[in-house]
Chains A and B, each alone.
Chain A
Amino acid sequence: MTAVSESAVPVEATDAARDNLKALESEAIHIFREVAGEFDRPVILFSGGKDSTLLLHLAIKAFWPAPVPFPLLHVDTGHNFDEVIQFRDQVVEQHGLRLIVAHVQDWIDDGRLTERPDGTRNPLQTQPLLDTITEHKFDAVFGGGRRDEERARAKERIFSLRNAFGQWDPRRQRPELWNLYNGRHRPGEHVRVFPLSNWTEADVWNYIAREGVELPSIYYAHRRKVYRRDGMWLTEGPWGGPRDGEVVEELMVRYRTVGDGSCTGAVESTATTVEEVIAEVQASRLTERGATRADDRLSEAAMEDRKREGYF
């Protein structure tokens, strides 16, 4: 007798289902459909950035040929890149989607928030996000977060419970087994859902290439006036740059992440096509966030602290 499984298994054509990108796509689509089946008021966070564009692309595929059964939400810091906002609006119109925009400026104007001395508005997104979630009674909020982005994210669940204050408690995470997700929550609580959890930056770009997903132009190399601060190339803009002594240069750059203009850096690049970007990503010696996000450099535990406060 033998301990080897002898069941007749058709081995041919199984490679296709084992394909990493197909497996990731299936997993993400499973998650979208699970939320649609279990929650009353889901919403997709959509900034027009690379990861949220991919998220929307997958949502559209998940419910084909029916329309996506969720609205979109963007927290606009007012410091966003024009190209990205235009792209955002164009995508929304093209697919007949409903977009809710929470303007950080409104919160500053009526005194619920105060501008920070350093001018960065990324940390100011949390309050408008939570207020809007409460106002619309959203119970599931899709985000494009990936576990490979940062150490604190490596432990985040795909369904991540937030309390009534939007806070994450890393010690009270629910075990997540097989493809069974527990979305139960009390009134006032909500669940953040991360369908791209298992994607890496390389996966995202390879999938974008394979599917021909359109992105805002600033993800590809272009000429831009930039200045150097804290080892990053920041762009000129209404968010307070350049300061005295900071020299503006015109360089070929592209963005690896897109966030608040005050703290999102560009990288020097000649990659004008998705294939060239992939080649650069493969050769890169810096993480996406390490290269381009000042907000994550604030402290060793920066991301963990912001997550606890309700940031993504």
Chain B
Amino acid sequence: MVQEMLRLSTAGSVDDGKSTLIGRLLFDSKTLFDDQLAAVEEVSKRRGEDYTNLALLTDGLRAEREQGITIDVAYRYFATPRRKFIIADTPGHVQYTRNMVTGASTSDLALILVDARNGVLEQSRRHAFLASLLGIPHLVVCVNKMDLVDWSQERFEEIREEFSQFAAKLDVHDMAFIPISALHGDNIVHRSASMPWYEGSSLLHHLEQVHIASDRNLIDARFPVQYVIRDYGTDFRGYAGTVTGGVLQPGDEVMVLPSGFTTSIKAIWGPGGTPVQEAFPPQAVTVELTDHIDISRGDMICRPGNRPSAGHDIDALVCWLSEGGALKPGGTYTIRHTTRATTAEIQALDYRLDVNTLHRDESAEALALNEIGRVQLRTRQPLLFDPYRRNRFTGGFILVDDTTNNTVAAGMITGPALRDGGAVWQPTRVGREDRAAKGGTVWLTGLSGAGKSTIAVEVERRLIAEGHAAYLLDGDNLRHGLNSDLSFSAADRTENVRRVGEVAKLFADAGIVAVVSMISPYREDRERARAAHEAAGLPFVEVFVDTPIEVCEARDPKGLYARARAGEITGFTGVDDPYEAPESPDLVLNPTQEDTEALAERVVDLLTRQR
């Protein structure tokens, strides 16, 4: 059997039992050696503690032991026959963000500890947010010290509910809750006898079973060239590097960036010259190409039909890691991204993000240690990149201070900077009155399963039948193309609605009736779409499809409510994410009282009256 590797990160404060939990995992998985245990017992005794303080195992440096705190990321290892685990253990005090971000950058899974007595504290939320920001696919929330709350199921459920509500705002794909006692070993390796009501896995079992094989990006082929291997004796010329996305095969047609030349893969060699038929991330391989092309370190091999973005202007979220100095607009640094290094200047700081409240402070002028914000960067050489959420390795970068040589920031690319890229509005010579028809937008909002799309399809059909130009913009359909890079986090939902609003506006401007059908749960986002239309002098009709949630859930046409209730999916509107109904819609439809034809007719009537 192949032993897989799973990397996890933990974070927590001195008191929530994190070190004890790690000590317990090492101890119970028999990773701990007698001499380590003896040393810990001796120190415990010397300190006058009346139990073996497993936490001492993870306090690595003398300075930490003296101060009783952990000051840095420490790496621990344990293994079962199925998996080897690498724990990036980070402290929860002052330098938490820096260390957590470092530990999280390579993790498959984040382990969050909540003290059952205290509930969900600020730092648990912060850790969940950072895990989501760094794109960790799996979260495990351990509700610890269950022994101190009488193994109460009610308390556990309360914490689960509270945490889920917060996490719904984040981009988290998979979340599990486990009630444990690290001190006594309950639900760590074996299921706890004290909590028969808990039917899930023990922590170790969960860590062994969680499905990680498809977390990596196996779609977008990305191969940053790291080193050119030349053997003069055999005239060999190969491009060495680590596959950071997609799958490479001999015979594949490839494009080399930034030159743009196309060629094909002649052969792929594993370490030491083993022929490779399929190379996946994160394999280190050497690629031979059919044609002689001038390629050097920092170039990228990809597929001609699936290229990364290339450009100098980049938007990114950055975390400032340095005690000395702060990030300010105008600052210049060396940026290290894939295998390329160049100079980057901070063009603007858009906002600072409060990691506790998720509030965006747009008045911020600098980022200090442990602060996170959104910036616009301009690089001297173009970067070849993907959004971080699509690929951690082509979307992540560090900034290095050229004076101290220190790594001062970690960055996650959100996309190419477009807003202030010097684009000037290009006037056209066709006015709205010159077009054949007058356009506008009908916006249907409501819960999942409310019947929006059914009505929208009928509205589009009627308009076309009556000789109008109309086009259906369906939220689900657009997520297959235009919005395929967006998740269901609150920020991405806002972006989703913004994009659809912009597209609808273009259709309306072109003289077409755009029929929009999307949940668009947040009032503010819909208002923004309306404002954009009004500013452009285009009609905008908001239609509220007011089907009660009980009805939507009973229908559940896609089976999504059932999955959301089962906790399989999070951030589901109406279940664990809010739906904000319109306060003054132009029209309210009630599918429980009228049939689709009648409802569609009411929409078309309203449009006709408005013209």
Nearest neighbor of B338 in chain A, beta-carbon distance? A180
Chain A stretch 17-62: residues in CB contact (< 8 A) with chain B: 17-27, 29-30, 33-34, 36-37, 58, 60-62
Asked if residues B34 and A180 are in contact (CB atoms below 8 Å), the reply is: no
Does B105 interact with chain A (Cβ within 8 Å)? yes
Of the residues A1, A11, A66, A170, contact of B63 by C-beta under 8 Å: A170
With CB as the reference atom, state the residue of chain B lying closest to A23: B5
Is B240 located at the chain interface by the 8 A CB criterion?
yes
A61–B479 CA distance with the chains assembled, in angstroms: 44
Report the stretch among A110-118, A130-138, A182-190, A239-247 that lies at the interface.
A182-190
Across the interface, which residues of A come within 8 angstroms of B286, CB to CB?
A: 64
Residue interface bits B230-271, CB-to-A below 8 A is 1, else 0: 110010100011100001000000000000000000000101
CA distance A1 to B172 in the complex (A): 15
The A-contacting residues of B in range 404-446, CB under 8 angstroms, are: 405-407, 410
Q: Residue on A with the closest CB to B236? A: A65
A95 within 8 A of B: no
Q: Is the interface of B mostly helix, strand, loop or mixed?
A: mixed
Query: Which of A26, A29, A155, A287 is close to B36, meaning CB atoms less than 8 Å apart?
Result: A287
Residue of B nearest to A21 (CB): B3
Give B329-362 interface residues, CB cut-off 8 Å to A.
334, 336-337, 339
Q: Would A178 and B226 count as touching, CB distance under 8 A?
A: no
Segment of B211-219, B376-384, B534-542 in the binding face: B211-219
Beta-carbon contact of B75 and A62 below 8 Å: no
Q: How far is the CA of A182 from the CA of B321 in the complex (A)?
A: 14
Given contacts A20-B84, A155-B74, contact A11 B5 (CB under 8 A): no
Q: Mark A276-293, 1 if CB is under 8 A from B, else 0.
A: 000000001111001100
Q: Which residue of B lies closest to A58 (CB)?
A: B271
Which one, B3, B4, B271, B297, contacts A37 given CB within 8 A? Answer: B297
B60→A175 contact, CB < 8 A? no
> Do residues B271 and A29 form an inter-chain contact, with CB atoms below 8 A?
yes
**Who on chain A is nearest to B399 by CB?**
A182
A16 on the interface (CB 8 Å rule)?
yes
A187-202 CB contacts (< 8 Å) to partner B: 197-198, 200, 202
Name the B residues within 8 Å of A10 (CB-CB): 218, 247
Q: How far is the CB of B192 from chain A (nearest CB, A)?
A: 27
Inter-chain contact A15/B4, CB cutoff 8 Å: yes
A64 touches B273 (CB 8 A): yes
In angstroms, Cα B284 to Cα A177, docked, is 18
- Say whether B27 faces chain A, with CB atoms less than 8 Å apart: no
Pairwise interchain contact B36-A290, C-beta atoms closer than 8 A: yes
Contacts of B59 in A (CB 8 A): 151
When distances are taken between beta carbons in the complex, the residues of chain B under 8 Å from A94 are none
Known contacts A9-B219, A18-B2, A178-B396: does B72 contact A170 (CB below 8 Å)? yes
* Contact status B282-A17, CB under 8 Å: yes
| Min CB gap B120→A, angstroms | 20
CB contact under 8 A between A17 and B280, given known A37-B297, A66-B229, A182-B407: yes
- Kindly report which residue of chain A lies nearest to residue B285, judged by CB atoms: A26
A-B contact count (CB 8 A): 227
Contact B218 A36 (CB under 8 A): no
Interchain CB contact under 8 A, B226 and A37: yes
Q: Is B94 at the interface (CB under 8 A from chain A)?
A: no
A229 at the interface (CB under 8 A from B): no
Closest Cβ of chain B to A8, distance in Å, is: 8
Quick one: which of B313-329 are within 8 Å of A by CB? 321
A222: interface (CB < 8 Å): no
Q: Given A14-B280, A175-B407, A286-B34, A1 and B476 touching (CB < 8 A)?
A: yes
Find out whether the CB atom of B218 lies under 8 angstroms from the CB atom of A1. no
A3 at the interface (CB under 8 A from B): yes
A34 to B298, CA, bound (A): 11
Q: Smallest CB-CB separation from B229: which chain A residue?
A: A66
Which of these, B76, B236, B283, B400, contacts A17 with CB under 8 Å? Answer: B283
A33 pairs with B61, CB closer than 8 A: no
Instruction: Determine if A147 and B242 form an interchain contact, defined as CB atoms under 8 angstroms apart.
Output: no
Residues of B contacting A36 in the complex (Cβ-Cβ under 8 angstroms): 227
Give Cα A25 to B242, complex, Å: 11
Write out the residue numbers on chain A whose beta carbons fall within 8 Å of the beta carbon of B273.
64-65
Residues of B within 8 A of A298 (CB): none
- CB of A198 within 8 A of CB of B392, answer no
Contacts of A29 in B (CB 8 A): 271, 284
Nearest CB of A to B19, in Å: 13
Category for how many chain B residues contact A:
35 or more
Which residue from chain A places its CB closest to the CB of B212 in the assembled complex?
A18
Q: Which of A3, A33, A65, A177 is within 8 Å of B398, CB to CB?
A: A177
Known interface pairs A24-B5, A184-B400. Does A33 touch B62 (Cβ–Cβ under 8 Å)? no
Contacts of A11 in B (CB 8 A): 213-214
Judge whether B173 and A3 touch: CB under 8 Å: yes
Check A300 for interface membership: any CB of B closer than 8 A.
yes
Are B213 and A18 neighbours in the complex by a CB distance under 8 Å? yes
Q: Which of A34, A65, A178, A182 is the most central at the interface, judged by chain B CB atoms within 10 Å of its CB? A: A178
Partner of A34, one of B75, B226, B247, B278: B226
Residue of B4, B73, B216 near A19 (CB, 8 A) is B4
| A304: chain B residues within 8 A (beta carbon) | 61-62
Are B4 and A13 touching (Cβ within 8 A)?
no
Complex Cα–Cα for A202 and B573 (A): 48
Shortest B518–chain A CB gap in Å is 9
- Against B, the Cβ 8 Å flags (1 = close, 0 = not) of A96-109 are 00000000000000
Contact A2 B405 (CB under 8 A): no
What B residues does A178 contact at CB under 8 A? Answer: 105-106, 392-393, 396
Say yes or no: A154-B321 contact (C-beta < 8 A), given A1-B488, A1-B573, A26-B283: no
- Say yes or no: B230 contacts A26, CB within 8 Å: no
Q: Is B385 an interface residue (CB 8 A)?
A: no
A176-B102 contact given A23-B282, A154-B76, A290-B33, CB 8 Å threshold: yes
CB distance from A180 to the nearest CB of B (A): 5
Q: Answer whether residue B397 sits at the interface, using C-beta atoms and an 8 A cutoff.
A: yes
Q: Does A2 contact B271, Cβ atoms closer than 8 Å?
A: no
> What sequence of 0s and 1s flags, for each residue 95-110 of chain B, a beta carbon within 8 Å of any chain A beta carbon?
0001101100110000
Contact B35 A291 (CB under 8 A): yes
Provide the residues of chain A in CB contact with B86, threshold 8 Å.
198
Contact B242 A30 (CB under 8 A): yes
B410 close to A175 (CB less than 8 A): yes
Distance of A24 Cα from B197 Cα, bound (Å): 40
Q: A86 on the interface (CB 8 Å rule)?
A: no
A179 engages B560 (CB within 8 Å): no
Q: A17-B283, A30-B226, A200-B77 are in contact. Are A3 and B487 (CB under 8 A)?
A: yes
B residues less than 8 Å from A62 (CB atoms): 240, 271, 284
What 6 pairs between A and B have smallest CB-CB spacing?
Answer: A290-B35, A61-B272, A61-B271, A184-B405, A17-B280, A26-B284
A→B interface (CB under 8 Å): 1-5, 7-11, 13-27, 29-30, 33-34, 36-37, 58, 60-67, 147-148, 151-152, 154-155, 170-171, 173-180, 182, 184-186, 197-198, 200, 202-203, 284-287, 290-291, 300-301, 304
In the complex, 14 of the A-B residue pairs with CB atoms within 8 angstroms, ordered by the A residue number, are A2-B572, A14-B214, A14-B280, A16-B280, A17-B281, A20-B83, A33-B284, A65-B231, A151-B59, A151-B60, A171-B63, A180-B396, A290-B36, A304-B61
- The chain B residues found within 8 Å of chain A, CB to CB, are 2-5, 33-36, 39, 43, 59-63, 71-77, 79, 83-84, 86, 98-99, 101-102, 105-106, 172-173, 212-214, 216, 218-219, 226-227, 229-231, 234, 236, 240-242, 247, 269, 271-273, 278, 280-284, 286, 297, 321, 334, 336-337, 339, 392-393, 396-398, 400, 405-407, 410, 448, 475-476, 479, 487-488, 519, 558, 560, 563, 568-573
